[in-house]
């Protein structure tokens, strides 16, 4: 696949590598169908360049945020979205590692937004039978910030965090700050007045191939780092099986292509948002 010509996709920021993995030794990666090389310049600063006709081109814009190196192949109209929790010094920052998936980035976003699969895919962790109903919640496109939000979400979870062994109904809020990033805010068990923040950064390699990195900003002074890491990795490994088996791999935006239920309000808002933006990469604009 050649580099996409989709301006919507090109003009976004993408996390493409963990900062701790960036060294002077060149690393090859791929973004939106374009081969890239990651290394450091003479001053030791991270550098990202497109490979054109076998030769590295001029450095692309880069940012160092949330433990990752970010870049863009276009000209974003705004900076990388803000995660306020990342600036709170008492939070544990857990970066969970990249997972490659044979699917489109929008499919991964939609799966993250879906609460209905919790009891079946994440049984005895994020959900359990007979607590399968998804209560009504509010999903919306927030025009002032150009983001998709789902609020007042409530769901029974048998184990809401590493520190908890008993189940309860939890309050969840979802946020899609860019077409290829999704976040979850949940009430922190050890500090009910605060919210844990979990983000999923997606690197769309090709239209039907991507890799994703979960990162967490947690209020948890007790758990071992490896326990928090394993908890999230188990959940994500279960999700990977589901998204790689969905068909079509690209996300259809035509309303009649896949019939939504009441529980799919956030997915409907996300698809409508992508359609309004005119995104072409990783989606199917008409009926499959």
Report all structural domains of the chain as residue ranges with CATH numbers, in order of start: 7-71 (2.20.25.680), 84-284 (3.90.380.10)
Distance from C-alpha of 274 to C-alpha of 215, rounded to nearest angstrom: 24
The alpha carbons of the chain give a radius of gyration, in whole angstroms, of 19
For the segment 61-112, what is each residue's pLDDT rounded down to a tens digit? 999 999 999 999 999 999 999 999 999 999 999 998 999 999 999 999 998 8
Read off the pLDDT of each residue in 255-279 and give the average, rounded to a whole number: 78
pLDDT per residue over 127-157, tens digit each?
445 555 556 788 999 999 999 999 887 766 6
What are φ and ψ of residue 231, in 5° steps? -55, -50
What pLDDT, on a 0 to 100 scale, did the predictor assign at position 231? 74
Q: Where are the beta strands (DSSP E) in 143-280?
A: 147-157, 168-178, 181-188, 191-206, 209-218, 251-252
Q: Which pLDDT does position 114 carry in this prediction?
A: 79
- 3 and 33 in contact (C-beta within 8 Å)? yes
Reference 162, options 194, 182, 186, 134; nearest CA is 186
Q: How far apart are CA 170 and CA 153, in angstroms?
A: 8
pLDDT tens digits for range 103-132: 999 999 998 887 655 554 444 455 445 555
DSSP secondary structure code for residue 61 in this structure: P
**DSSP-derived pairing of the beta strands 181-188 and 191-206:** antiparallel
């Amino acid at each position: 696949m050649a580099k996409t010509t989709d301006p919507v996709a090109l003009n976004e920021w993408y996390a493409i590598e963990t900062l701790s993995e960036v060294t002077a030794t060149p690393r090859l990666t791929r973004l939106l169908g374009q081969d890239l090389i990651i290394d450091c310049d003479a001053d030791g600063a991270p550098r990202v360049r497109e490979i054109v006709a076998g030769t590295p081109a001029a450095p692309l814009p880069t940012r160092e945020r949330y433990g990752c190196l970010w870049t863009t192949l276009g000209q974003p109209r705004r900076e990388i979205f803000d995660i306020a929790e990342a600036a709170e010094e008492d939070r544990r920052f857990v970066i969970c590692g990249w997972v490659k998936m044979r699917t489109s980035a929008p499919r991964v976003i939609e799966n993250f937004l879906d609460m209905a699969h919790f009891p079946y895919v994440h049984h005895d962790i994020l959900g359990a039978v007979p607590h399968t109903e998804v209560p009504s919640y509010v999903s919306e496109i927030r025009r002032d910030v150009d983001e998709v939000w789902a609020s007042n979400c409530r769901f029974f979870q048998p184990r809401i965090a590493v520190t908890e062994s008993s189940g309860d109904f939890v309050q969840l809020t979802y946020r899609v700050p860019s077409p290829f990033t999704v976040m979850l805010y949940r009430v922190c068990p050890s500090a009910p007045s605060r919210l844990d923040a979990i983000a999923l950064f997606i690197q769309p390699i090709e239209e039907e191939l991507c890799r994703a990195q979960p990162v967490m900003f947690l209020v948890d002074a007790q758990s071992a780092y490896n326990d928090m890491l394993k908890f999230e990795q188990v959940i994500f490994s279960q999700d990977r099986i589901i998204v790689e088996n969905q068909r079509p791999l690209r996300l259809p935006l035509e309303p009649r292509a896949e019939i939504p239920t009441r529980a799919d309000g956030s997915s409907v808002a996300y698809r409508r948002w992508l359609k309004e933006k005119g995104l072409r990469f990783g989606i199917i604009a008409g009926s499959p």
